[in-house]
């Protein structure tokens, strides 16, 4: 099955009308603009370097980490940020995050690590895609606070879920 892989693009665009959220950097404004106007699910921006993905969940973050891409100091815009994504963003070294939806555990992780957070909606936790329970990735890291431990646990969970889907 062909998957839409994250890609890096050089991008010279600025935020629509040059406006940004108060206190947010130009990078965060650019990432947010791309998220909202280009059909992306996740965008990382720093200067003219932008990584974009249309993959869902934590897949883009795991892919960028797996490819060894250094995004330290980047700004991130994401549709949904649960605790799993928050811990991965900490691991990746991003400095600020915009989320359309963020969970309370994710908000706390980002605050604990000094990562600026802007969001549209705060929820108690991220729901699964069926809408009948907690997201399995959020559940996997609920009791984890170390980003490296979270990365290992999430990779294992993805492996288990993929094996179940292959059956």
pTM score, two decimals? 0.84
Q: Give the CATH number of domain 7-166; options: 3.40.50.2300, 3.20.20.140, 3.40.140.30, 3.40.50.720.
A: 3.40.140.30
Q: Domain map of the chain by residue range?
A: 7-166
Q: How far apart are CA 157 and CA 80, in angstroms?
A: 19
Regions of the chain with pLDDT less than 50: 1-23
User: Residue ranges of the alpha helices (H) in the chain?
Assistant: 26-37, 59-66, 83-92, 104-112, 136-141, 147-166
Structure letter (DSSP) for residue 128: P
pLDDT at 68: 95
Q: Strands 42-46 and 7-10, how do they pair?
A: unpaired
pLDDT at 92: 98
Q: Express each pLDDT in 113-140 by its tens digit.
A: 999 999 999 999 999 989 999 999 999 9
Q: Express each pLDDT in 46-59 by its tens digit.
A: 998 999 999 999 99
pLDDT at 95: 96
Structure tokens at 137: 């990735």
């Amino acid at each position: 099955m062909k998957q839409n892989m994250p890609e890096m693009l050089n991008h010279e665009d600025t935020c629509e009308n040059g406006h940004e959220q108060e206190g947010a950097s130009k990078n965060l404004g650019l990432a947010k603009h791309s998220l909202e106007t280009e059909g992306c699910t996740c965008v990382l921006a720093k200067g003219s370097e932008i990584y974009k993905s249309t993959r869902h969940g934590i897949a883009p973050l795991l892919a960028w980490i797996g490819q060894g891409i250094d995004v330290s100091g980047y700004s991130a815009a994401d549709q949904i940020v649960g605790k799993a994504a928050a811990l991965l963003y900490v691991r990746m070294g991003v400095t600020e995050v915009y989320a359309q939806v963020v969970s309370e555990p994710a908000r706390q992780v980002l605050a604990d690590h000094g990562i600026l957070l802007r969001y549209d909606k705060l929820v108690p936790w991220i729901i699964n895609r069926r809408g009948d329970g907690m997201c399995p990735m959020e559940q996997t890291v609920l009791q984890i606070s170390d980003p490296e431990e979270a990365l290992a646990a999430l990779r294992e969970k993805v492996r288990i879920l993929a094996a179940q889907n292959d059956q």
